[in-house]
Amino acid sequence: MFRLIMFLMVLLPNIATAQTSLRLTGLSGELEDNVKLYLDRYTPDEISTALRFQSRLEDDISTALQALGYYHSTVSIELQNSGKNSRLLIQVDAGEPTLINKANILINGEAQNDSDFLALLKQAPQVGQTVHHGRYDSFKKALTNLALRKGYFEANFSLARLEVAPALKQAFVQLTFDSGPRYRFGPVRFQGNQIEDVRLQSLVPFKVGDPYLATQLGELNQAIANTSWFSSILVTGNTDKVTEHILPVDVELAPRKRNSIETGIGFSDDVGARLKLNWLKPWLNQRGHSLDSKLALSGAEQSIQAAYKLPLESVATDFWQLQYGLRNRDYQDTLSKESNLALERHWLLSNDWYRTASLRWLYEDYTQADQQDTSSLIIPGMSFSRSRQTGSGMPTRADRLLFGVEVSDSSWGSDASFVRLRGRAGYITTFANNHRFVGRLDAGAVLMEDIDNLPPSIRFFAGGDNNLRGYAYESVSPLNDEGELIGGRYMTTASLEYQYRVKGNWWLAGFTDYGSAWTDTPDWKLGVGFGVRWASPVGAVRIDLAWGLDAVDSPFQLHFSLGPEL
């Protein structure tokens, strides 16, 4: 008895670890993929060499092939043993496909002349194609979804039949889609709003009586969200009050809190820690006026700015903005106190570009290298900008463009006459979900006036974590005879960065920056480095270690920042 017990103790573990695997041959492409989907449903415990399981296997494979139009398949299964493991070798011959012999597909109702439905008919099952049950169902679903998106709410299939005659290797499709009438937009009613109704109505992208389109409800939702006036938005069609196929729209709103505070931090070797504090009052009154205040502190620079925004009747596209700011800089060879007062008019153009006309007064008391002076400038300007992105935090795709020109002339009371040009471009793209590229280009020029007659804020400097990493903040510029920074007439910097997702929201980055600020001849500087990125809920956190290959004093720079990459 003891020997029998010992024998079973040795035998049972071997029995428990014995496994049966499956190997599929004879198929490729979509046929192989669909059969494997059926086979993947089996758990390891279900797979066995039993004849009952093999019969089930044959039935499932036949069903998987029939779904793709192959009703004459043959399946042969061979048992292969290798020690304690066994394998079922499954050889499949799909056979000849079953083809569509007749396809009668009709659209009745108002949609029969709708261009979107006519375009969708090109995807319908066609005579001579292999019958494909999945594509047949997808086409029916596409018709239904399109009808819902375009307001054919009474649409239905009066006839939907797919018949297969395996013996004849033929299939017959009969579809009749009755769209019924197309609904139209009714009046829009806002509820729970603290902003006057006339301003909210200007956000509505359709008129009463326009044909219904679901995407326009999405546009309305987005336009309301862009105002930053509300904490929650719900846009729905009021089906209880439909009359003569006119659908009223209800918008339920909840006011946003009257105060919102955002913070940002950064660090670099040259200027140390940086702190940003934004205080936003998203709405001040029923007309939707708002106040945005910003405070930025670092060892090299301190600034405070307030902007009062006045939306016009078309609040989504037009507004005035009055700004006032103070800035103090004490870094390198620059000591400057400046005051800025600006009035801006903003328009959102039909091509999604923002056009901004501005008039600002700049007063600056400064010492730049060996030059000490004050400057009072009246500067009108015009700029065009556009920002687009997919995703938030670290977007998968984004681009940003900005072009601006400012002019100053002594004829209207300025201390200097010049034309200042500025342009920025940025692009982000993602490949295969884990590979990300970020490119930036920044350029500027000052024309007409001698650079010595301009305050530091008008001149150009390069260097720092925003345009030329590996070099100290604003340390790249022309020098005077004593080797002091004096700022340049021109500036160009470019950056290319590759990022690889390590895990989750963590990325590694490698980059190279190139650029210069100059007056006569550029002295190009090259920086390279690597870093870590974290896609935090409030934006990209970036830590970089950069080397300025043309730097003399500092072998490397450490940069830390939080915020948008473009």
Average pLDDT over residues 127-131: 94
Q: Is the pLDDT of residue 260 over 80?
A: yes
Return the number of other C-beta atoms located less than 10 Å from residue 141's C-beta: 10
Tell me the sheet residues that pair with 247.
185
**pLDDT band at residue 546, thresholds of 50, 70 and 90?**
very high
Which pLDDT score, from 0 to 100, does residue 239 have?
A: 86
Q: Is the pLDDT of residue 484 over 50?
A: yes
Q: Is the pLDDT of residue 10 over 60?
A: no
Tell me the sheet residues that pair with 388.
399
Q: Give the CB-side neighbour count of residue 247, counting CA atoms within 13 A.
A: 22
Alpha-helical runs (H) found in 108-236: 115-120, 133-149, 197-201, 214-226
**pLDDT band at residue 280, thresholds of 50, 70 and 90?**
very high
Tell me the sheet residues that pair with 91.
25, 76
Looking at 234-248, 405-419, 423-437, 550-564, which range is the least confident one?
A: 550-564
Which of 151, 268, 120 is closest to 215 using CA atoms?
151
Q: Is the pLDDT of residue 268 over 80?
A: no
Higher pLDDT, 4 or 233: 233
Tell me the sheet residues that pair with 511.
497, 529
Q: Cβ-count burial of 120 within 10 angstroms (0-12 exposed, 13-18 middle, 19+ buried)?
A: middle
- Give CA–CA dist 535/160, Å, rounded: 48
- Give CA–CA dist 310/318, Å, rounded: 9
Higher pLDDT, 122 or 555: 122
Which pLDDT score, from 0 to 100, does residue 315 have?
A: 86
Owner of token pair 């060879």: 333
**pLDDT band at residue 269, thresholds of 50, 70 and 90?**
low
Mean residue pLDDT of the chain comes to: 90
Higher pLDDT, 322 or 555: 322
Which pLDDT score, from 0 to 100, does residue 72 have?
A: 93
Which pLDDT score, from 0 to 100, does residue 554 have?
A: 64
- Give CA–CA dist 6/18, Å, rounded: 19
**CA 237 centroid distance within chain:** 28
Question: The whole model's pTM is what?
Answer: 0.73
Average pLDDT over residues 268-295: 89
Which pLDDT score, from 0 to 100, does residue 12 have?
A: 43
Evaluate whether 106 touches 92 at the Cβ level (below 8 Å). no
Which pLDDT score, from 0 to 100, does residue 15 have?
A: 44
Q: Is the pLDDT of residue 355 over 80?
A: yes
CA angle 192, 195, 201 (to 5 degrees): 90
Looking at 7-16, 280-289, 426-435, which range is the least confident one?
A: 7-16
Q: Is the pLDDT of residue 1 over 80?
A: no
pLDDT digits (tens, 9 = 90+) for 78-114: 888 876 778 889 999 999 999 999 999 999 999 999 9
Of all residues in the chain, the percent with pLDDT exceeding 90 is: 73
CA angle 288, 293, 298 (to 5 degrees): 160
**pLDDT band at residue 316, thresholds of 50, 70 and 90?**
confident
Looking at 70-74, 190-194, 269-273, which range is the least confident one?
A: 269-273
Which of 330, 338, 403, 388 is closest to 364 using CA atoms?
338
Which pLDDT score, from 0 to 100, does residue 100 have?
A: 95
Q: Is the pLDDT of residue 518 over 80?
A: yes
Q: Is the pLDDT of residue 439 over 80?
A: yes
Beta strands across the sheet bearing 156-165: 99-108, 170-178, 156-165
**pLDDT band at residue 488, thresholds of 50, 70 and 90?**
very high
Which pLDDT score, from 0 to 100, does residue 345 have?
A: 96
Average pLDDT over residues 51-60: 91
- Give CA–CA dist 18/12, Å, rounded: 10
Q: Is the pLDDT of residue 14 over 60?
A: no
Looking at 82-86, 420-424, 434-438, which range is the least confident one?
A: 82-86
Evaluate whether 190 touches 159 at the Cβ level (below 8 Å). no
Higher pLDDT, 439 or 83: 439
**pLDDT band at residue 2, thresholds of 50, 70 and 90?**
very low
Looking at 142-156, 207-221, 354-368, 541-555, which range is the least confident one?
A: 541-555
Q: Is the pLDDT of residue 181 over 70?
A: yes
